[in-house]
Chain A
Amino acid sequence: MSKLHVSTTVNGDSVEYLCDPRETLLDCLRDKLNLTGAKEGCGTGDCGACSVTVDGRLVCSCLMLGVEAEGKTIETVEGIADGDVLHPLQKKFIEHAALQCGICTPGILVAAKSLLEKNPNPTEEETRYWLAGNLCRCTGYDKIIRAVMETAEELREAS
């Protein structure tokens, strides 16, 4: 099967790749652009480990084809920090031990950032439902939810 040429923007950089029409955006990010922060936990859109944003919308990159990225703006976990300054969510996750093994962390950070951009003052219930598409098997979510809500509070106070 011949490959298709795709031009897109990832974390602010213009990038191009050739992909098989069957390859997912996740495959392309990982195997063609070496952005391995997004993980494949299921390949069926159930675990959220591959979460990225496409034109500002939170998606599972395993459910989108690589060719569909043409002309879009994609943000991944690798683009969350501002240079060497961590995003407040990243700092808070480390401080709160909101990760154990860390495999779900990239997806959860992308999803949580997306939540706070849309809703700077989420309740615990809203936070839990927003993150319900991101599976974590280690933490029981307690420290993750606390980290997200505390970050939201700090960001509100800072603004």
Chain B
Amino acid sequence: MALDDRKSDFTFVGTRPNRPDGLDKVTGRAKFGADAYAPGMLHGAILRSPYAHARIVKIDTSMAEAHKDVKGVVTRADFADVPFKPGLEGEFWNVLENVMAGEKALYDGHAVAAVAATSALAARDALKLIEVEYEVLPHVTDVDKAMAPDAPVIREGAADYSVPQGMHPNVVRYHESGHGDVEAGFAEADLVIEDSFVTEATHQGYIEPHACLGMLGNDGKGELWCTTQGHWIAQKTCAALLGIETSQLRVTASEIGGGFGGKTTVFIEPVALALSRKANRPVKIVMSRSEVFRATGPTASASMDVKIGMKKDGTISAAQGVFRLQGGAFPGAPGDMTAMCAFAPYNLTNVKQIGYDVMANRPKQAAYRAPGAPMGAFAVESVIDELCKKLGLDPIEVRLKNAAHEGTKASYGPTYERIGLVETLEAAKAHPHYSAPLKPGQGRGISCGFWFNHGGETSVSLALSEDGSAQLMVGTPDIGGSRASMALMAAEVLGIPYENIRVTVADTATLGYNDVSHGSRVTYASGLATIKAARHAVEQLCARAAASWGIPADAVKWENGCAVPSGPNAGDFDPRPLADITAHMGATGGPISGHFEATPEGAGVSFGTHIVDAEVDPETGKTSITRYTVIQDAGKAIHPTYVEGQYQGGAAQGIGWALNEEYIYGEDGRLQNSIFLDYRIPVASDLPMIDTVIVEVPNPGHPFGVRGVGETGIVPPLAAIANAVSHAAGVRMKQLPMSPPRILAALKDNG
């Protein structure tokens, strides 16, 4: 049997059919996290610390427990006191500490106790019956202040091997990389600009709050329904935190109402299970929006210093960056990722980057779309723009001159394989947007962006039915239409219509382990696994046809959905369509299925270039985005409409980050804007249409050339908009968000 490994002409891939779950999602039928109910179900609610940093002296739950509507109360003791697996370590311990506070409440909103009661209202009322005695401690929420010698210590001993001696205990990780000699490079430059930049924490802002329904019996067997980007990680983590065996907990992923990285860990799920174990009834917990903001992962906040030297012809002679990221009261802020991504678009002889992971009294940061990359790009691409401006150079020409390409030594070390940055820049240069006239008061900005992308553990199973249709089981929750992409790729291999394939997101009991839907990995990794699972099924289809014809299996090939003899020597037989073979499969060897399990390691890095026009109102300081174009390399767009959707969504989130969104903490360390009214994400009237250009430079690591597209789109907007604002209003904004008061202040300083 001959199967070409690489493919470049397609029948189904690249078309734009309706998504398989479309009907459910436009009729209200689709079941999201909060849409599950169970017989005898209780409602859980969580008591949260009103202090940013406080020792928990005592928790008295007796009054709550005595209430007739309350069926269970849990505190940290209900997690630590597990039958086996005592003493969690590493990230599991961190997650447990975040899920339910131990000795100290570490941020405003940190969970300290939870109740299960007969109704949601009763549960909320019962929280008032729990008495917690706190000893309030000094707190810190700002990254630079958290690194200062006199900063309160969040937790001693949290730093790892990498932190140089003498740093504050709140600095828990240090990264340094680069190559060449930056000092020599700066000496060669005609102009060196060094500046400092600040970005505030923003929230992923998925519209669906965290929600789950859990049941755990005293036999250690449980069921969990939850909204998550990865139900296997939820399974593994909940099992560890509750001291049960992983396989005894079956987790089903609901439809997911947005994640963007924020639903890659657990918050309420172990609490619901712990309450259920106590009450011996199913427990549902749904977070309020305020709980989502206060206690789930926002992105890290950042403080950054960037220095770049440029020659008169636009050549960057040296680049250096220091990136300090604050990730809440736990290790994990992606300072290393910020450092490694910051200069990745450029071919640099001399480059040095340093990243810090710093703890402060804020919620544990979670991944948010290309975690760490947008901040660094904001600082670096702003400085490059300033250099272009001062040297009178075209920003696209300068980026083209320095652009990384195949064979370039990346700023983070290795040599690039085939990449598509130059193609996105060429497309930007040729795009009508770049040469369109601007109105007075408008400015145009551009920026490049980079993200690594990810592969990850993946299992896929495909089963053929007698009538020739196929069921495909994947383990990556569908956040943005991935069922459609999976069905297209399966259709391409099997040669049967897209509509004949039913894609299901399988639960943890029906498929092997799957890594989270993150890292832009779903279309890449689950897609690769789908293709290989379908090819596995095709091998068997060919073998069945070969047996029926009495010829060797390798004398049969698969073409347009049919088994055919591989050449004239193989014999003269009529093609056998898939449905003809499956109709008899029970009697010719049994069911035909295809499987694939692996950790694909060829995700392929991703680049994009954005062009944006902005208009600044000098009286109010309000910035309007008047035109936006996203150009990004998709490798191969499986379903182009959903690729466009990823580009548009990333840009919109970036616009929010650049202009409006920020976590605002008071002097008391409490979050002051924990509802959508005060934490304002872009609404329809804030945005223009967002144009897209899909560049396709195939990824050598995927059979169809796919590169992930989910994350890169949020990397360029912060800088592109800052650059547009600088050209529109003559002020260089070095702090995000560029909210009206900040712009007004900058305009005033500028005279």
Measured CB to CB, the residues of A under 8 A from B are 20, 22-23, 27, 30-31, 34-44, 46-47, 49, 76-78, 80-81, 86, 90, 93-97, 99-106, 109, 125, 127-129, 131-146
Q: In the complex, are the beta carbons of B35 and A36 less than 8 A apart?
A: yes
Q: In the complex, are the beta carbons of A138 and B675 less than 8 A apart?
A: no
Q: In the complex, are the beta carbons of A137 and B205 less than 8 A apart?
A: yes
Chain B residues with CB below 8 A from A101, complex form: 206-208, 255-259, 479-480
* Interface of chain B: mostly helix, strand, loop or mixed: loop
* Interface of chain A: mostly helix, strand, loop or mixed: loop
Kindly state whether residue B651 has any CB partner on chain A within 8 Å.
yes
Chain B residues with CB below 8 A from A125, complex form: 685
Closest Cβ of chain A: how far from B29's Cβ, in Å? 7
Chain A residues with CB below 8 A from B459, complex form: none
Assembled-state Cα–Cα distance A51/B502 (Å)? 31
Kindly state whether residue B463 has any CB partner on chain A within 8 Å.
no
Contact of B28 among A23, A37, A96, A146 (CB under 8 A): A37
Assembled-state Cα–Cα distance A141/B689 (Å)? 8
Chain A residues with CB below 8 A from B653, complex form: 137
Q: In the complex, are the beta carbons of A140 and B648 less than 8 A apart?
A: yes
Chain B residues with CB below 8 A from A132, complex form: 683-686
Closest Cβ of chain A: how far from B678's Cβ, in Å? 9
Q: In the complex, are the beta carbons of B25 and A137 less than 8 A apart?
A: no
Chain B residues with CB below 8 A from A30, complex form: 34-35
In B17-64, which residues have CB < 8 Å from any A CB?
A: 18-19, 21-23, 25-32, 34-35, 37
Q: In the complex, are the beta carbons of A128 and B684 less than 8 A apart?
A: yes
Closest Cβ of chain A: how far from B633's Cβ, in Å? 19
Assembled-state Cα–Cα distance A78/B35 (Å)? 14
Assembled-state Cα–Cα distance A37/B22 (Å)? 14
Contacts A139-B649, A141-B687: A40 and B209 contacting too (C-beta < 8 A)?
A: yes
Q: In the complex, are the beta carbons of A138 and B684 less than 8 A apart?
A: no
Please give me the residue from chain A that is nearest to B641 by CB atom.
Answer: A97
Chain A residues with CB below 8 A from B205, complex form: 137
Contact of B676 among A76, A127, A135 (CB under 8 A): A135
Q: In the complex, are the beta carbons of B684 and A94 less than 8 A apart?
A: no
Measured CB to CB, the residues of B under 8 A from A are 16, 18-19, 21-23, 25-32, 34-35, 37, 119-121, 204-209, 255-260, 286, 288-289, 479-481, 641-642, 644-645, 648-649, 651-653, 675-677, 681-687, 689-690
Assembled-state Cα–Cα distance A142/B676 (Å)? 21
Contacts A86-B26, A132-B684, A140-B648: A44 and B675 contacting too (C-beta < 8 A)?
A: yes
Please give me the residue from chain B that is nearest to A23 by CB atom.
Answer: B121
Q: In the complex, are the beta carbons of B677 and A142 less than 8 A apart?
A: no
Closest Cβ of chain A: how far from B121's Cβ, in Å? 6
Assembled-state Cα–Cα distance A46/B683 (Å)? 10
Assembled-state Cα–Cα distance A157/B259 (Å)? 39
Chain B residues with CB below 8 A from A39, complex form: 32, 34, 207-208, 257
Contact of B675 among A20, A27, A46, A77 (CB under 8 A): A46
Q: In the complex, are the beta carbons of B288 and A140 less than 8 A apart?
A: no
Contacts A39-B208, A137-B653, A140-B690: A90 and B27 contacting too (C-beta < 8 A)?
A: yes
In the complex, 17 of the A-B residue pairs with CB atoms within 8 angstroms, ordered by the A residue number, are: A37-B29, A41-B207, A41-B209, A41-B289, A46-B677, A47-B207, A76-B28, A78-B27, A80-B27, A97-B19, A102-B257, A129-B685, A131-B685, A135-B207, A136-B207, A136-B684, A141-B682
Contacts A90-B26, A102-B257, A132-B685: A140 and B121 contacting too (C-beta < 8 A)?
A: no
Task: With a 10 A CB-CB cut-off, give which of A49, A86, A100 has the most chain B CB atoms.
Answer: A100
Chain B residues with CB below 8 A from A131, complex form: 683-685
Q: In the complex, are the beta carbons of A44 and B289 less than 8 A apart?
A: yes
Q: In the complex, are the beta carbons of B208 and A99 less than 8 A apart?
A: no
Q: In the complex, are the beta carbons of B208 and A103 less than 8 A apart?
A: yes
Chain B residues with CB below 8 A from A47, complex form: 207, 289, 676
Assembled-state Cα–Cα distance A31/B27 (Å)? 18
Contacts A42-B675, A135-B681: A103 and B258 contacting too (C-beta < 8 A)?
A: yes
Q: In the complex, are the beta carbons of B18 and A95 less than 8 A apart?
A: yes
Closest Cβ of chain A: how far from B243's Cβ, in Å? 32
Closest Cβ of chain A: how far from B35's Cβ, in Å? 4
Please give me the residue from chain B that is nearest to A127 by CB atom.
Answer: B684
Chain A residues with CB below 8 A from B682, complex form: 140-141
Chain A residues with CB below 8 A from B26, complex form: 77, 86, 90, 93-94, 99, 102, 105, 109
Contact of B648 among A77, A104, A142 (CB under 8 A): A142
Q: A86-B27, A97-B642, A142-B689 are in contact. List 4 more A-B contacts (CB 8 A).
A: A20-B119, A39-B32, A101-B207, A101-B256
Please give me the residue from chain B that is nearest to A108 by CB atom.
Answer: B684
Assembled-state Cα–Cα distance A44/B651 (Å)? 26
Closest 8 CB pairs of A and B: A37-B28, A103-B257, A140-B652, A102-B25, A46-B676, A94-B22, A140-B648, A100-B480
Closest Cβ of chain A: how far from B600's Cβ, in Å? 24
Chain A residues with CB below 8 A from B683, complex form: 131-135
Q: In the complex, are the beta carbons of A140 and B687 less than 8 A apart?
A: yes
Chain B residues with CB below 8 A from A78, complex form: 27-29
Assembled-state Cα–Cα distance A102/B119 (Å)? 28
Chain B residues with CB below 8 A from A128, complex form: 684-685, 687
Contacts A41-B207, A137-B260, A139-B648: A77 and B27 contacting too (C-beta < 8 A)?
A: yes
